[in-house]
Amino acid sequence: MSPLQSQNYDYIIVGAGSAGCILANRLSADPKNRVLLVEAGGSDRNFWLKLPVGYFRSINDKRFSRHFATEAQSGTAGRGIVWPRGRVIGGSSTINGLIFIRGQHADFDRWEEMGATGWSYREVLPHFRSLETFGGEPSQLRGSYGEMPVSVLRNNHPFCSAWVEAANQYGMPLNNDFNGETTEGAGSYQLSIGKRWRASAARAFLQPVLDRPNLTLMSRVLVSRLLIEEGNGGPTPRAVGVEWHEDGRKSEAFAAREVILCAGAIQSPQLLQLSGIGPDAVLEKAGVRTIVSSPGVGGNLQDHYQMRTIVRMKKPISLNDDVRNPIRLARMGIDWLLYGRGPLTIGAGQVGGATYTKYADPGRPDIQFNVMPLSVDKPGDPLHRYSGFTAAVWQCHPESRGSVEIVSDDPSAAPRIVPNYLTAERDGATLVEGVKILRQIYSQPAFKDLWEEEVVPGPSVQSDEEILDAARRGGGTVYHPVGTCRIGGDESAVVDPDLRVRGVAGLRVADASVMPVITSANTNAPTLMIAEKASSIILEQAKNHG
């Protein structure tokens, strides 16, 4: 269906990212539902977006990602941090590091304790299972029939194997499935990869159903605001559509049933605020008239902040060396092309794991490691010329909270992002302990003879104060912003447990912004689950209400 033929739909989904692609698939499965999916980005038909290791090039490529800058703050030594977010079909699932970890079981039980009724681990597990096909050992906790392929690691590197053994020697048990009973331990990470290519949400859920006549995809369309019918003191305001500008003209599309925001933790709250739904003071300052006063919109911002350690290895067999060796490069290409294995299938971490610091709550690991046999200043930069090895650490359960606030009524203007990294004392203390534990792992028998020098943070950084200062100066995001439209049962929550925006009928949010508390690990898998569960809720309620 061409968007010129009809501007009237049953459901309008804003954002063709991880959540939006699943919702478009599930809602359009019923041919009676007319579904419009609107995306600000363009096509994902690019080789580097499909090749798994291509994220090193694409994540900071402004053709495929929009770069949001956080406010400079004391927690980051006066630096602003760049947050690239996918602006392409598939959203951030098209440019991310591919690591697929759901998070600790207790993460979701904590959601329910905070008022997200129906979101306990027991209740979300069926939705995790239904969306995936796991390539490892069958388990009652894993899925076998979903569209998203989840692959076990297909690149064995001696440095990574030695690190896992050293972590075991330190005291971390071997963990063969971080999506199984626990995230505790050390082992190989699972990735969202098919036989050879990245399995983005677009490739897994959207592309196979684009020929449905009741599903319309509009790309390169930046929604400027929601269309809301006000009750003039009577009925609850209702979202009836969306507005955007194209070739200097205003265009509109209308939804008979619902508008569903899947624009992510930055732009879902931004769009709500632009539409007059948010904190009164923020809206007034930006010149937007308040339609629904909702003080929680844009608050509760959370992210994982990481600190890397880098050591120089003795043997020149890190990926830093391999990419400069034509023979090894050719072997990489052959391994990928013929067998779907090797370094071209890696994500942002090959091995890693989770463990406890002295600050951990009982039974809940509070730090996670991400390990790669390479070193680089940031994705997109050339790998270092020495034989580098990187092990990074982040705090699983940060207590610092930030905010996203519009600064004007211009939809193309970036909002003010204040993450407040490391403002909670426990966050900094936990990160310092994580760096100290990494150093202990490096010193275990399985690894200590493989490296010759610590490059980052360096041997001169020893005291807790020095390590924390190094983290403030050299740490950064793991690209996991969440929480800005949180689920809850209280009046300050932005959405209720069915993801309906409080105070507005016909409007939901279903993406990472609804997480009450950030999950302990990578956030793409739980975002997919949120959309899967949301589709079940929406379809069931539509069935019950006719």
Question: CB-side exposure of 503: number of CA atoms within 13 Å?
Answer: 19
Ligand-binding site membership of 221 (annotated): no
The answer on pLDDT for 3 being more than 70 is no
> What local confidence, expressed as pLDDT, does residue 245 receive?
87
Q: What is the mean pLDDT of the chain?
A: 96
Report the DSSP beta bridge partners of residue 123: none
For residue 281, give the 3-state DSSP assignment: helix
pLDDT tens digits for range 360-381: 999 999 999 999 999 998 877 8
Q: Which two tokens stand for residue 248?
A: 């200097």
Q: From the candidates 127, 157, 397, 480, give the one annotated as an active-site residue.
A: 480
Question: CB-side exposure of 21: number of CA atoms within 13 Å?
Answer: 30
List all residues 6 or more positions away from 194 whose beta carbon is below 8 Å from its beta carbon: 149, 151, 203
The answer to whether 513 and 264 are in contact (CB under 8 A) is yes
What gap in Å lies between CA 445 and CA 169, rounded to an integer?
8
What gap in Å lies between CA 58 and CA 480, rounded to an integer?
17
DSSP E strand boundaries for 406-533 = 416-418, 451-456, 476-477, 507-509
Categorize the per-residue pLDDT at 6 as very low, low, confident or very high, splitting at 50, 70 and 90. Answer: very low
Task: Enumerate the domain spans of the chain.
Answer: 153-189+305-397+421-480
Categorize the per-residue pLDDT at 1 as very low, low, confident or very high, splitting at 50, 70 and 90. Answer: very low
What percent of the chain clears pLDDT 70, i.e. is strictly above it? 98
| Of the candidates 185, 478, 518, 522, the residue with the CA atom closest to the CA atom of residue 355 | 185
Answer with the residue of higher pLDDT: 192 or 245: 192
Categorize the per-residue pLDDT at 233 as very low, low, confident or very high, splitting at 50, 70 and 90. Answer: low
DSSP E strand boundaries for 262-413 = 277-278, 292-293, 305-313, 351-355, 367-372, 388-395, 403-405
What gap in Å lies between CA 297 and CA 486, rounded to an integer?
8
What gap in Å lies between CA 43 and CA 56, rounded to an integer?
19
DSSP letter at 482 equals: B
DSSP letter at 204 equals: I
| Of the candidates 377, 475, 372, the residue with the CA atom closest to the CA atom of residue 430 | 475
Instruction: Output the DSSP codes for 288-320.
Output: ---SEE-TTTT-SBB--EEEEEEEEESSS-SHH
The answer on pLDDT for 534 being more than 70 is yes
User: How, if at all, do strands 451-456 and 305-313 pair?
Assistant: antiparallel
Please state the rounded mean pLDDT for residues 96-100: 97
The answer to whether 33 and 541 are in contact (CB under 8 A) is no
pLDDT tens digits for range 74-92: 999 999 999 999 999 999 9
**How would CATH label the architecture of 153-189+305-397+421-480?**
2-Layer Sandwich (3.30)
DSSP E strand boundaries for 64-112 = 65-69, 82-86
> What local confidence, expressed as pLDDT, does residue 546 receive?
64
The answer on pLDDT for 482 being more than 50 is yes
Let me know if 304 is a catalytic residue.
Answer: no
Please state the rounded mean pLDDT for residues 414-440: 98
List all residues 6 or more positions away from 130 whose beta carbon is below 8 Å from its beta carbon: 143, 145, 146, 532
Please state the rounded mean pLDDT for residues 204-226: 97
Please state the rounded mean pLDDT for residues 176-193: 97
What gap in Å lies between CA 271 and CA 279, rounded to an integer?
13
Number of other CB atoms surrounding residue 436 within 10 Å: 14
> What local confidence, expressed as pLDDT, does residue 232 receive?
66
> What local confidence, expressed as pLDDT, does residue 7 receive?
83
The answer on pLDDT for 188 being more than 70 is yes
What gap in Å lies between CA 373 and CA 164, rounded to an integer?
12
Distances (CA, A) of 165 to 28, 178, 184, 241, 354: 48, 17, 15, 55, 14
> What local confidence, expressed as pLDDT, does residue 2 receive?
38
List all residues 6 or more positions away from 517 whose beta carbon is below 8 Å from its beta carbon: 107, 110, 111, 114, 302, 397, 483
Ligand-binding site membership of 259 (annotated): no
The answer on pLDDT for 325 being more than 60 is yes
> What local confidence, expressed as pLDDT, does residue 155 receive?
95
Report the DSSP beta bridge partners of residue 215: 35
Please state the rounded mean pLDDT for residues 174-181: 98
pLDDT tens digits for range 258-276: 999 999 999 999 999 999 9
The answer on pLDDT for 4 being more than 70 is no
What percent of the chain clears pLDDT 90, i.e. is strictly above it? 94
Categorize the per-residue pLDDT at 519 as very low, low, confident or very high, splitting at 50, 70 and 90. Answer: very high
